[in-house]
Amino acid sequence: MSKGVTVWFTGLPCSGKTTIADRVAEALKKKGYKVERLDGDTVRKGLTSDLGFSKKDRDENIKRITFVAKLLTRNDVIVLATFVSPYRERRRLSREEIGSFIEVYTKCSLEECMKRDVKGMYKKALAGEIKDFTGVNDPYEEPEYPELILDTDKESVEESAGKVIDKMRSFGYL
């Protein structure tokens, strides 16, 4: 049986957080681990549907997600959380509250994120149609001391997912 942990993927929109976490979840589930995915798009359809994208609302969004991740983690579930979560202080508070926490920074150039953007969000933000969009007209504060940095514009999804699993193993969660 595994110990619970929250693996918190942070990075610009379209940097690979969801794709990599989905691959990790698939690999871990095949090995019989209890895994739960918490993803920005999914959570905003339910738990945080009342929130917008102001700094106050983003912080509240992450605060609520942190509470759910903490409950799952303490019940020995591996939580793979994929959220832009652009503010360092809020991520620090999440780490503190959850306890068993691995921060993974999906580092990717803004140019590459824009190329990957199938929803056209960056284009809309640059045209002024979306305000408070991280990386365009709202800041993204890179993690200062993440446990893992994935250079997602230089490595494959398989390489990145493998690094996450290796890191979890090295910390004794697998």
So what's the architecture of 5-170 in CATH? 3-Layer(aba) Sandwich (3.40)
Active site (catalytic) residues: 85
Confidence of residue 53 (pLDDT cuts 50, 70, 90): confident
Q: What pLDDT score was predicted for residue 126?
A: 87
CB atoms inside a 10 Å sphere around CB 58:
22
Residue 1 confidence (pLDDT): 60
Number of H helices, E strands in the chain: 7, 5
Contact predicate 94/62, CB 8 Å = yes
Lowest pLDDT segment from 4-18, 57-71, 96-110, 123-137? 123-137
DSSP characters for 59-73?
HHHHHHHHHHHHHHH
Predicted structure pTM score: 0.94
Q: What mean pLDDT do residues 43-67 have?
A: 90
- Indicate if the pLDDT at residue 47 is higher than 90: no
Alpha-carbon distance of 171 to 145, in angstroms, equals: 16
| Structural domain boundaries in the chain | 5-170
> Average pLDDT of 28-49?
92
